[in-house]
Structure 1
Amino acid sequence: MNDDRKVSRQHLISQVLLKRFTMPGAKGSGWQLMPFDLDHPDRHRKLKGPRECGYIKDFVAFDSGSTEDLWGQVERRVPEAFNAVDAGTPFDNPEHAEILRDLVVLHLVRSHHYRKVHRDSFSKVRENVFRGLMQERADALRREALRNTGLHLTGPQALGVFARKLIESSEPAQDHASGKLFRVSIEEMFQKIRAKLADWQVEVVSPQEGQFLVGDTPALTLRQADGGIQYGMAVGDATTIILPIGPYHLIALGPKNCVIQVHKPLVDELNAVQVIAATRWVYFHPRSGLESFVKEGAVARSDR
């Protein structure tokens, strides 16, 4: 599907989710939350609205209108599910679990992490093609160079330069450069993971004490290990996938639909994972009391 609409400001964290971390601002400034820059933990912080947080410019650079429509199909249904969560009846309507699960999948795919995986994968394929040309098809490469340039390229350096140019002029490389390949990949990955997780159920987790925060890579694959919680593994290797959806609720995909409360040590551990996994930003309710906690986490990140 081609869509000529250009959407530059693309939220990696849905605004409908970010709004749940807000409070009314002063002097009619609207709903605001606290953004924390992990790269500059000592910088003065100022409250901002959801529209100003959790976005990246031109995340999907090609046919971005098409991709935004796909995300919108999920996000438009989210308020009804959030209302049910807040009312303590998240499973009275079976569709609510499906909506919440789709929201987790959306944030798992629409992320800094997935874009890095995509770019790294393409770079690996490009290098494999280059090595194949240089090592296994060197004679054919020389003939192609002679046909294109009229030159006999005998040395590996000159031949390598030609091979690089040949690869970059290919359709896959051009589609990668324009962003078309990423747009197709991210939409296909959303549908693939959505189907893979269709049988996973939804746990609605609430803190007995304290509040949740959310990082700019909010949906995380997790598994329990001897040293504590591990994150960032492939979906097939994870025991759960989490997504904070407000100060008092977190979604965890698991074996059954349920509502549970967790003690503060686990709340702190889940918040710490959000801080560690974030690319740069963490967001929380202005009256959560989490600023010192996040600052300590930011310092610990910088010491790694």
Structure 2
Amino acid sequence: MKRRPLHIAGQHMTSESILDRHTGPSTPARGAQRLEMVDFKHPDRRRQHYAPRACARFTDWLTADSVGAEILWGETETAAGNALKRLDTGEALTAVDWAALRDLAVLHWIRCPYTRNTSEAGWAEAQDEVQAQVQAEVDGAGRAPFEAAVAGHFGLHVAGPEGRRYFVDRLRAHAEAAHPHSVAMRHTVEGLFRDAKAAVASLAPLILTPQDPDDTFVTSDAAAFTISRTGGSPARRIGDPIADAEATIMPIGARHLLVLSAEPWPAVASPHLVRSLNLWQALHAYRRVYGVPGGAWARDVPLWVEARKLRRAPEPDDPADP
């Protein structure tokens, strides 16, 4: 029996089926269904149109058993796909359908570049702390047994503080090779998925549609996001943990947006609310936003670009695909 591969290099951050639902006829592609992309790394470039398969992919988001994760994601996406078909035909959604859509939003909240970056940063910080503790020990009371162990294992004399730092660095490299961050993250994402599903299980989902027939929602390479109130201000804070947020939001199509919230939301989104939701999506995006070609949303791109500059964070380099 042929063994299945354990790794898929190019992994979609946003489901291809969701990207499909944001497409429209593209003149450059002779009427084929495409997405118009805004790349915040190069906002002044002419916006290109892409097929959904080429969009919102991230190279090596997971490197340990990424195929196993894709199978888990696939089960969620299949269940949600059945619910979306019923939504498109006007059928009433069942409790199973609503649960599948909740799971889809949770999946996208976890499966995004920010999760990997946060995990990597936390892992590196923990490793630095442990290394500092080990270094302090071998520079202090543990110096003699450490140097004796190095001499016995490598046949080398440890030459002062620099020598001890060198061998502690080597120990860290061996430890990271034996238990890399990728393995830890593979387990972390499954735990996050389970915990986040539990956090939103009691929330009543709602699907918003734009009031104006010309308005559409955009999606991005970090499609699901959370918002929270900032004191008494009407402004919203983006990116709180899903269990603490006022609402979890995910566009599930150009004309449909899913909201998970304990607070009431209107079922029909006014033009102002659509523009606000698209702005929040653009602010939360890792680097790229996708929308219907030639959509009304494009008028707000200059506003999005300036708003992202106010975050005082450089636009990332690493997403490898459109």
TM-score (norm 2): 0.84
Where structure 1 has 5 or more consecutive residues not aligned to the other structure, the ranges are none
* 1:190-232 CA-partner distances (Å, limit 9, x unpaired): 2232233322221212222322111211111211222601011
- Taking the aligned partners of 1:173 and 1:198, their CA distance within structure 2 comes to 38
Aligned to 1:117: 118
Q: Which amino acid aligns with 1:245?
A: I
Aligned to 1:63: 65
- Taking the aligned partners of 1:234 and 1:272, their CA distance within structure 2 comes to 20
Q: Which amino acid aligns with 2:162?
A: Q
Counterpart check, 1:211 vs 2:240: no
Aligned to 1:290: 297
- Taking the aligned partners of 1:254 and 1:296, their CA distance within structure 2 comes to 27
**Aligned residue pairs: how many?**
300
Q: Is contact 1:142–1:154 with CA below 8 Å preserved after alignment?
A: no
- Taking the aligned partners of 2:130 and 2:257, their CA distance within structure 1 comes to 43
Change (3 A) 1:229 1:141: farther
Q: Which amino acid aligns with 1:59?
A: W
- Taking the aligned partners of 1:157 and 1:201, their CA distance within structure 2 comes to 60
* 1:30-55 CA-partner distances (Å, limit 9, x unpaired): 42111111111111222111101111
Bigger mean CA deviation after superposition, 234-243 or 80-89? 80-89
Aligned to 1:231: 238
* 1:125-176 CA-partner distances (Å, limit 9, x unpaired): 1011111101245415444433333344363332222112102212x55332
Aligned to 2:278: 271
Counterpart check, 1:107 vs 2:105: no
Aligned to 1:32: 34
Q: Which amino acid aligns with 2:287?
A: R
- Taking the aligned partners of 1:237 and 1:154, their CA distance within structure 2 comes to 52
Give secondary structure in 2 for the equivalent of 1:266: helix
Residue 122 of structure 1: how far off its partner (Å): 0.6
Change (3 A) 1:152 1:20: same
Aligned to 2:195: 192
Where structure 2 has 5 or more consecutive residues not aligned to the other structure, the ranges are 313-322
Match for 1:240 among 247, 255, 258? 247
- Taking the aligned partners of 2:129 and 2:14, their CA distance within structure 1 comes to 35
- Taking the aligned partners of 1:205 and 1:137, their CA distance within structure 2 comes to 60
- Taking the aligned partners of 2:243 and 2:45, their CA distance within structure 1 comes to 39
Point out 4+ residue stretches in structure 1 off by more than 4 angstroms. 25-29, 87-90, 256-259
Residue 124 of structure 1: how far off its partner (Å): 1.2
Match for 2:174 among 169, 174, 178? 169
Match for 1:158 among 156, 163, 182? 163
- Taking the aligned partners of 1:300 and 1:195, their CA distance within structure 2 comes to 33
* 1:219-267 CA-partner distances (Å, limit 9, x unpaired): 1121122260101122232121111111221111123898712322222
Match for 1:82 among 81, 84, 90? 84
Change (3 A) 1:89 1:222: farther
Aligned to 2:48: 46
